[in-house]
Copies of this chain bind each other. A is one copy, B any other.
Amino acid sequence: MAGKRRAGRRPGHQPTRELILAAAREAFARRGYDATSVREIAAAADVDPALVHHYFGTKEKLFLETVSIPFDPRQYIHLVVEGPREELAERLLTTALGVWDSPSGLAAGALLRGSLTHQTGSELLREFLLKRALEPLCGAIEPDPVLAKWRMNLVATQLMGLAMMRYVLAMEPLASASPEQIVDAIGPNLQRYLTGDLHGA
């Protein structure tokens, strides 16, 4: 994965592209997917709307790009998978919290909220969680494909619920808890979903 090159991306164009992405991320986070137009994003980035379409295609693709930046999970999967199997959940939680709590993850709560306000947003979020984050992860640690799907769904319930409570609803004590406290409290549960006995599932 490290050797994979992204095509069609000359270095000189990076700043404009990043400018549009930053404007889009802020707009989607503040007003939600549905209420944000490509025209507004272009205005905020001080570029022509045609340039937004040139770089990103549709609004949907632009949105997917903005949610994939703060959490782009593919680069983190090896951080989670490599190491002792019984510490998988600890590594997954530490990695997820590291991204979510970082400056680039600050918009995570707002984006999560925004992506739920519209059917398209929900579908994108589901696709993102399935195809880009949890499917590769669970596929890497569970050889049985049926069980891997169950594990993926269960891991998703726990991580989604954690993100909702800590960032969107900001419920205490979870919102102010340290990553170590969260690993202590939630780690063993997540570990069961990743590698434990799921009974009938």
A-side interface residues toward B, CB under 8 Å? 32, 113, 116-117, 122, 125-126, 129-130, 149-150, 153-154, 156-162, 164-165, 168-174, 180-181, 184-186, 188-189, 192-193, 198-201
Contacts and interface: CB of A to CB of B under 8 A. Distances in A.
Contacts of A122: 113, 168-169
A130 B172 CA distance: 10
Given A113-B117, A184-B199, A156 B160 contact: no
B157 A165 contact: yes
Contacts of A153: 165, 171-174
A138 to B, nearest CB: 13
Contacts of A192: 188-189
- What are the 5 tightest A-B residue pairs by CB atom distance, in nearest-first order? A161-B161, A157-B161, A184-B199, A184-B200, A189-B189
